[in-house]
Amino acid sequence: MVVTRFAPSPTGYLHIGGLRTALLSYLWARKNNGTFLLRIEDTDFSRNDEAAALAIVEAFKWVGLQHDGKIEYQSSRLEIYKQHIQQLLNEGKAYKCYMSKEELEALREEQTQRKERPKYDNRYREFTGTPPEGREAVVRIKAPLEGSITVHDGVKGDVVFNVHDILDDFIIARSDGTPTYNFVVAVDDALMGVTDVIRGDDHLSNTPKQIVVYQALGFPIPKFFHVPMIHNHDGKKLSKRDGATDVIAYKTMGYTPEALLNFLVRLGWSHGDQEIFSMVEMLELFDPSDINRSASVYNVEKLDWLNSHYLKNMTNEKLCELLEFHGVMLISHDKREILLDAVKERAKTLSEMAMLISEILVKPAGFEEAVLKKGYKEDSKEVLEKFSTALRAAKELHLPSDYHHVMESVVTEMGIGFGKIGQPLRIALLGKLSGPGLDSVMAIIGVEETLERINTLISY
C-alpha cells in the first residue's frame, strides 16, 4: 500500500514548485491504488496565516488533485506531538536543555571565532542537577554523536551525511512547549503511514534530522524522493521575475489545470519525447524513480503551447464554462458555437480568448491612424459600399459560408483580389488588421451589426 502526501506550510500561496511535487505524489499514490494525503503544516505560529492556508486549499481545488480523507492541520495535532515528546523524555532519548539565549549566543560566537560550525555542545545531555532558576527549558533530541546517516533517495541515490558536519542535539520542543518543524514532519509522516515522501530537494538536508526522529520513536523510515528545483534560464531558482510562481495566477492568466499539470509533470520527468500527457497517461507512465536528477528549466512558451493544445481540444460547452471566470457569458448566445470555433485556434490562454471574443462582440471604439493607413485605401470605401449593398440584397445569411459567398460575389464582380475587401472590412468589424475569420465574425454579429460597423468606418 502506497501512501503519499503533500504537506505545504501556509506561509504564502501555493507555489508551482509545490504543486509539482504534489502532482508527483498524487500520481504515485493513485497509480498504486494508494492514498494521497493533504496536510497543512501550520505549527510555526509566527509565520502562518489562516488566509494562506485557505488560498492553498483553494488553488489545490482548482487543479483538481483530489486528496483522500480530511485535510490534516498540524495545529490541531499538538497533543499528539506532546505525547511523543514526553515519550522520548521518558525513554531518555530526549532531554531538557536550560541553556539561555545569551549562553547560546556566546557559544556561537566562540565557535565562529574558532572557525567551527556553530552547534550545540550537548551541555545538558546528561544533566541531572537542579535546573537553573526561572529558566524555561527546550527539549532536545539525542542525535548520534558520530558516524553518518545515509538517505536512500529514489532520485539522488544514496546521500551520505556525516553526523559531525550536519547534526547536533536539535530542539524538538521550544520553551513554550510547541514542537519544531522536523519533529512534527517525521511524527506525522510516520503516524499517517506515509510510505513514500516525494518533495523538493530543498528538504534533503532536513532528512537526516527526520531520520533521527524516526529512529528514536522506532518508526519505519519511508522511501524518499527529493525532486530537483525548478530553475530559470540562467540556472537560478525560479523567482517571480521569471514568471508567476503562484498557482492561482495561472488561473487568472487563463491556463487550464490540464495544461499546467502536463507542464509540471514534464519538468524533471520524461517519457521518450512525448509532450502531451493526459491524466490517464500520466497515471499509467509515471514512476518517481524516473525523475531527472538535475534541475529542470521553466519555459513559459512550452506552457503556452500545451495550453493552446488543451483549449483547441476542449468541448465548447466546457470552454463556455471556463470563460465565465474571465467575464464572458456565452451560455445563451445563439452563435456561441461559431464564436468559439472562430477563436479557439487563435488563443493561447482563456483570457486571450476572452479578449478575442469581446473584440468580436463589442464594436470597435475607434480606428487608429496607423491601421487606417495600412488597410483603408482609396478604393476601400467603394468596395465596402458594394459589399453593403450585396449584403442587403442577400436573403439567407446565417452561416459563415453564407457571408463568404457574398464576399466572393463582390470581388468577382469588381474583378479585385480578396485582400481589397478583407483589409478594410476587418478594420470595420474589429478595428484592427488581424483576427479571426471575417465570415465567422459576420455570422456571429449578424447582418445588421455588420452593416452598422461598415457604415461607421465609411463615415469616420
Binding site for ligand GLU (CB under 6 A): 7-9, 41, 185, 199, 203
Rounded CA-CA distance 229/294 in Å is 8
Helices 400-414 and 380-393 pack at an angle, to 10 degrees, of 130
Rounded CA-CA distance 107/328 in Å is 64
**Longest CA pairwise span in the chain (Å):** 108
Rounded CA-CA distance 284/107 in Å is 54
CB 37 within 8 A of CB 192: yes
State in angstroms the smallest separation of the CB of 360 from ligand GLU: 44
Rounded CA-CA distance 101/250 in Å is 44
Judging by beta carbons within 10 Å of its beta carbon (0-12, 13-18, 19+), is residue 105 exposed, middle or buried? exposed
Rounded CA-CA distance 384/205 in Å is 71
Q: Report the residue number, 8 or 257, with the smaller CB distance to ligand GLU.
A: 8
State in angstroms the smallest separation of the CB of 206 from ligand GLU: 7
CB 441 within 8 A of CB 427: no
The alpha-carbon radius of gyration of the chain (Å, integer) is 32
State in angstroms the smallest separation of the CB of 210 from ligand GLU: 8
Q: Report the residue number, 196 or 439, with the smaller CB distance to ligand GLU.
A: 196
Pairing status of strand 94-97 against strand 138-141: antiparallel
State in angstroms the smallest separation of the CB of 75 from ligand GLU: 13
Q: Report the residue number, 214 or 305, with the smaller CB distance to ligand GLU.
A: 214
Q: Report the residue number, 203 or 363, with the smaller CB distance to ligand GLU.
A: 203
State in angstroms the smallest separation of the CB of 203 from ligand GLU: 5
Q: Report the residue number, 7 or 445, with the smaller CB distance to ligand GLU.
A: 7
Beta strands in 266-328 (DSSP E): 296-297
Nearest one of 11, 8, 160, 184 to 82, comparing CA atoms? 184
Terminal-to-terminal C-alpha distance of the chain: 72
Q: Report the residue number, 199 or 335, with the smaller CB distance to ligand GLU.
A: 199
Nearest one of 315, 181, 187 to 256, comparing CA atoms? 315
CB 42 within 8 A of CB 48: yes
Q: Report the residue number, 17 or 375, with the smaller CB distance to ligand GLU.
A: 17
Q: Report the residue number, 46 or 315, with the smaller CB distance to ligand GLU.
A: 46
Residue 442's alpha-carbon distances to 7, 70, 236, 449, in angstroms, are 52, 52, 49, 8
Neighbours of 114 (CB within 10 A): 7
Q: Report the residue number, 17 or 436, with the smaller CB distance to ligand GLU.
A: 17
Which residues share a beta bridge with 297?
A: 231
Q: Report the residue number, 199 or 348, with the smaller CB distance to ligand GLU.
A: 199
State in angstroms the smallest separation of the CB of 173 from ligand GLU: 18
**Sheet containing strand 148-153, strands side by side:** 157-162, 148-153, 223-227, 196-200
